[in-house]
Amino acid sequence: MARVFNFSAGPSVLPLSVLQKAAGELIEYGSAGMSVMEMSHRSKEYMTIITQAEALLRELMQVPDNYKVLFQQGGATLQFATIPMNLLTTFNRNADYIHTGIWSKKAIAECNRQGHARIAASSEAENFTRIPRQDELDLDPAAAYVHMTTNNTIFGTEFPYIPDVGDVPLVADMSSNIMSREMDVSKFGLIYAGAQKNLGPAGVTLVIIREDLLGRHAGLPLMLDYKVQAEKESMLNTPPTYGIYMLGLVLQWIKENGGIASIEKKNIHKAAKLYQAIDNNDFYCCPTEVESRSRMNVPFTLKNPDLDATFLAEAEQQGLMNLKGHRLSGGMRASIYNAMSEEGIDALIAFMEDFANRNG
Amino acid sequence: MARVFNFSAGPSVLPLSVLQKAAGELIEYGSAGMSVMEMSHRSKEYMTIITQAEALLRELMQVPDNYKVLFQQGGATLQFATIPMNLLTTFNRNADYIHTGIWSKKAIAECNRQGHARIAASSEAENFTRIPRQDELDLDPAAAYVHMTTNNTIFGTEFPYIPDVGDVPLVADMSSNIMSREMDVSKFGLIYAGAQKNLGPAGVTLVIIREDLLGRHAGLPLMLDYKVQAEKESMLNTPPTYGIYMLGLVLQWIKENGGIASIEKKNIHKAAKLYQAIDNNDFYCCPTEVESRSRMNVPFTLKNPDLDATFLAEAEQQGLMNLKGHRLSGGMRASIYNAMSEEGIDALIAFMEDFANRNG
C-alpha cells in the first residue's frame, strides 16, 4: 500500500525524507558499522548526534544562552508532576494555571497533589472552545509560576499571544505546537514538549529551562531534578538514544525547509485553507472561536452526525486516516502538524467537498 | 564498512535480523501506509503490536497471571526512586539492599532520599569482585522489600542463585541479564530492566510486578504510580511506541531461537569459551571470583597495562569495538549479551591469542 495521509493527533506524521534517511542507515550508521540503536550513548559517534541535535534546536528556536536544553523521558504527563516538584519551593506552594482543556486539567491535578494550583483563567464554561484573553487573566504576582498549554489538541485551540505574566516565570506545555511557529523563548521560564507531534517519535521529552529556575528545591529523585539533569547534560543515565537521533533528523528537515519562520508561513497557509473549506460549506461546522483556532488541530462536525461513520469510512478508502475526533469533543479532527503536506490538506478538502455534494 | 562486533555494555548489539526487519518496514509497516513511529498509540495496528509484545514476554518468561507487565520510561535510574516511592509504606520506611556495585549504590542512595536503605550484605570491601552468598545475607524480616542487582555490568559479576528472602518481596534490577537465563518470576515481587541490553533500544523500561504490591502508597504522581500504570495497561500517556515495537521484534527473535532456555545454553557456552581463553593465558587476567562471574560482562586485564591502548586500537582495526573497561574497574570488558554471536566471541579470542603471542 502507498503512504497514506495521516491526520493523527499524535504520534503523528513524520516527513517522508526523514523516514527514508532513517531506514537507509538503520542497520549501519555512517562508518560506525552498527545501528544508532546499538551505540553506547557515551561513544564519540553518539555524542556527535546528541550534541548536534541540541545545537540545531538552539539555532532553530534561538534559545538564549542562559537556558538549558534537556532531553528527558516520560512525556508531558511526567512533566505535569516534575514541574511543581522543581518549581514550588518550601515556602511557596502556590502556582497559577490557565485552564484551557484536558491537558491543563491533568497538569492542575498533578500540581494539587503537591501544592495548590490556582485557576488564573478558564474557558471550561465554554467547553474550551476559546482561549482566555490577556485581560481575563487573574494573576497572582506571588505565584511560584504561571502554567499554560500553548495548543490544545482535543478542542483545537491555540494561544494567539504569549501572556504577559510580569516577573513570575511562565511555564508552557508546547507539546502540540512546538516549532510550528516562532516563539520568543526569553518570554518563558520553562518550555516542555513531548516529541511525538512536531519533533519526532514518542519517548523523548524536550525541556528548555532558564538557569535561574534550577535548584529551587533540593533532595528530589535525581532523574526528576532539572538541576541534576542540566549538570549531566541529559546523560544522568542512558537517554532515549534513537528517539533523540530521529529528533535530530526532524530538526535538520526543518532547517532545510527554511527554519521555523518558513514552516510557520506554510502552517498558516495550510490551516487557513482548511478552515475556509469548513466555514464556506454549510455541511461542516468548526466549533472554535475564530481568534483561538489552532493551526495544528482542526476540529469540525458534520451537520448530520448520522453521517460521521460513513464520512470516516470513505475518507479511509481514499487514504485520509485518523480523522475521528476525540471522544470528548466528538465529530472530526484533522491534525495538520509541520510534516503534513499541503497535498494532504488539498486531498482532504477535495474529499470533504465531494462528500458534502453527494450527501448535502 | 561492514558490521562490526560490538562489545558495548549498553546500549549494545541487536540481532542483525531484527535490524533488517525494522529497516524494511520503517517507512511503511505492513498495510498501514505509515511508519510505526507515526501511529497513534491507540490505533488498532499499534494496539496489536504492544499487546503481542506483552503476550510474548509473558510466554517467554512464563510470567504468572498475578503479575502485571508494564512498559515504562526513564530507565533503571528512575526505578531506583519509583520503587521506594511505591513499596515503602507510611509505617515502614525500611528496605534491605544487597550491595554489589555501582548500580546498587545508586539504588541505595535513592531509597535513602525517601526512607532507610539497610545494607543486608556488601562486597564493597572486595571491590565488588564477588556476589555475597546466601549465608552472608543479614536480612530484616520486617523490611518493606529486599533489593538486588542480578548482574553487574561494571565489575562483571552475576548472582548464581536467587536469594531466599522469606516472605519479604524480592525486588530485582535485571537490566543487564534479563532473558539471558531462565528466572522463576514467582520468586520475585518486582523485576525491572532498562531495555537497552537484551530487550531492545534505550527508552523502554520493563517492570513486572506482583499484583499485591500495587497500591501500597497513595497520592503519587500518576506516571510513577505502578497501580495507575497497571490499570491503564502502560497507556496512561503515549508510551515509547517505537521502542516497544523493537522490543517485540527482539522477543520474536528469542522465540525463534528456541526461547530463553536455548539462549541460556548459548550464553553459558559463549561465556565459558571466553573465560577459558582468559584463564588459560597468563597474558590476561579476570579479577572476578569464579562462582560470581557474569555471563554478560567479562572484564579482564592485560598483564602489562601499558599495552591497553595498543590492544584497543588493534582490536578496533579488526572490527572488535567497545572493549575498553569502565573507568572504575579499568582494563578491558567484553559485553556479550544475547545478540552477540559465537562468531564474535571466536573473533575476539583469536585476536586476544594473536595479540598475546606478539606481545607476551
pLDDT one-digit tens code per residue, A199-224 = 999 999 999 999 999 999 989 999 99
Please name the residues in contact with B339: beta carbons below 8 A apart, sequence gap of 6 or more.
B12, B13, B14, B15, B18, B198, B250
Closest in B6, B23, B31 to A27, CB measured: B23
By C-alpha distance, which of B248, B152, B235 is closest to B200? B248
Which residues of chain A make contact with B322, given a CB cutoff of 8 A?
A: 40, 43
Question: What is the nearest CA distance from B257 to chain A, expressed in angstroms?
Answer: 20
Grid cell digits, residue B35: 511508519
Catalytic (active site) residue A103: yes
To the nearest whole Å, the CA of A16 is away from the closest chain B CA by 8
Contact present, A338 and A263 (Cβ < 8 Å)? yes
Task: Provide, as residue numbers in chain A, all residues whose Cβ is less than 8 Å from the Cβ of B12.
Answer: 38, 40
Choosing among 3.40.50.410, 1.10.150.120, 3.90.1150.10, 3.90.226.10, the CATH entry for B259-359 is: 3.90.1150.10
Residues of B in contact with A196 (CB under 8 A): 238, 241
Q: Test A11 with B319 for CB contact under 8 angstroms.
A: no
Q: For residues A188 and A46, is the Cβ–Cβ distance under 8 A?
A: no
CA A103 to chain CA centroid, Å, is 11
What's the half-sphere exposure (Cβ side, CA atoms, 13 Å) at B208? 28
Chain A nearest-CA residue for B80: A221
Interface test with A, best of B38, B86, B105 (most A CBs within 10 A): B38
Over A280-348, what HEC string results? CCCCEECCCCHHHECCCEEEEEECCHHHHHHHHHHHHHCCEECCECCCCCCCEEEECCCCCCHHHHHHH
Name the residue type at position A139.
L
List the single residue in A32, A113, A202 with the smallest CB-CB distance to B41.
Answer: A202
Of the candidates A293, A244, A240, which has an alpha carbon nearest to the alpha carbon of residue A270? A293
Q: B297 - beta bridge partners?
A: B335
Mutate to test the interface with B, among A37, A39, A196, A198 (most CBs of B within 10 A): A37
Contact in structure between B186 and B64 (CB atoms under 8 Å)? yes
**Nearest of A140, A20, A143, A205 to residue B238 by alpha carbon:** A205
- CB distance A34–B6 less than 8 Å? yes
Cα dihedral sign, B349-B352-B358-B360: negative
> What are the residue numbers of the active site of B?
103, 173, 197
Record: contact B242-A241, CB cut-off 8 A = no
Q: How far is A348 from chain B (nearest CA, A)?
A: 16
Contact yes or no for B202 and A238 at CB 8 A = yes
**Which member of A68, A197, A227, A270 is catalytic?**
A197
Kindly give the parts of chain A with pLDDT less than 50. none
Would the CB atoms of B113 and A219 count as touching at under 8 Å? yes
Give the torsion sign (CA, B51, B54, B59, B65).
negative
Residues in chain A within 8 Å Cβ distance of B4: 32-34
Of the candidates B22, B33, B321, the beta carbon closest to that of A3 is on: B33
b/e burial code for range B120-149 (CB count within 10 A of at least 16 → b): bbbbeeeebbbbbeeeebebeeebbbbbbb
Whole-number pLDDT of residue A360: 84
Closest Cβ–Cβ partner in B8, B74, B223 for A40:
B8
Quote the strand ranges of B125-165, DSSP E.
Answer: 146-149, 151-152, 157-158
A242 and B202 Cβ atoms separated by less than 8 Å: yes
d(CA B16, CA A143): 54
Look at residue B2 in the predicted model and tell me its pLDDT. Answer: 86
Q: Determine the pLDDT at residue A209.
A: 98
Among A1, A27, A333, most B C-beta atoms within 10 A, so best to mutate, is: A27
Enumerate the residues of chain A whose CB falls inside 8 A of the CB of residue B237.
Answer: 74-78, 194
The confidence score (pLDDT) of residue A328 equals 84
Strands B94-99 and B116-122, by their bridges, are parallel
Residue A116, helix vs strand vs coil: strand
Which residue of A lies nearest to B108 if distances are taken between CA atoms? Answer: A221
Catalytic: A253? no
SS3 A193: strand
Contacts B220 to A, Cβ<8 Å: 113
Q: What is the pLDDT of residue B46?
A: 98
Which residue type, as a one-letter code, is found at position B142?
Answer: A
Q: What is the pLDDT of residue B328?
A: 84
Q: Closest chain A residue to B247 measured between Cα atoms? A: A37
For residue A155, report the phi and psi dihedrals to the nearest 5 degrees.
Answer: -95, -5
Q: How far is CA A42 from CA A95, B5, B78, B157, in A?
A: 38, 17, 19, 22
What distance in Å separates the CA atoms of residue A73 and residue B78, rounded to the nearest whole number?
10
What kind of fold does domain B17-256 have according to CATH? Answer: Aspartate Aminotransferase; domain 2 (3.40.640)
- Best A46, A234, A238, A297 member to test B by mutation, with max B CBs in 10 Å, is A238
pLDDT (tens digit per residue) in A127-140? 999 999 999 999 99
Domain ranges for chain A, please list them. 17-256, 259-359
**Which residues on chain B are in Cβ contact (under 8 Å) with A243?**
203, 240, 242-243
Q: Mean pLDDT for each 10-residue chunk of chain B (360 residues)?
A: 91 98 97 97 97 98 98 98 97 97 98 98 97 98 98 97 98 98 98 97 98 95 98 97 98 98 98 98 96 98 96 98 92 98 98 96
Which residues in chain B touch residue A13, judged by CB atoms under 8 angstroms apart? 34, 38
Interface-testing mutation among B223, B244, B326, with chain A (most A C-beta atoms within 10 A)? B223
Cell of B359: 606481545
Residues of A in contact with B232 (CB under 8 A): none
- pLDDT value of position A251: 98
In chain B, whose CA is at the least distance from the CA of A203?
B240
* Interchain contact, A238 vs B11, CB within 8 Å: yes
Closest-approach residue (CA) in chain A for B19: A27
d(CA B255, CA B302): 38
pLDDT tens per residue across span B327-340: 888 899 999 999 99
Residue A1 has what pLDDT?
53
Helix axes A16-24, A241-256, angle to 10 degrees: 130
Query: Pick from A63, A68, A10, A58: which is nearest to A207 by CA?
Result: A68
Q: Which of these, A203, A83, A249, lies nearest to B244 by C-alpha position?
A: A203
Q: What is the pLDDT of residue B259?
A: 98
First to last CA, chain A: 31
Give me the catalytic one of A68, A96, A173, A270.
A173
Q: In 10 A of CB B227, how many CB atoms?
A: 19
Indicate yes or no: CB of B81 within 8 angstroms of CB of A222: yes
Q: In degrees, to the nearest 5, what angle opens at C-alpha B37 toward C-alphas B32 and B41?
A: 80
- Show the DSSP H helices in chain A as ranges: 16-24, 44-61, 75-87, 102-114, 226-231, 241-256, 259-279, 308-317, 342-359
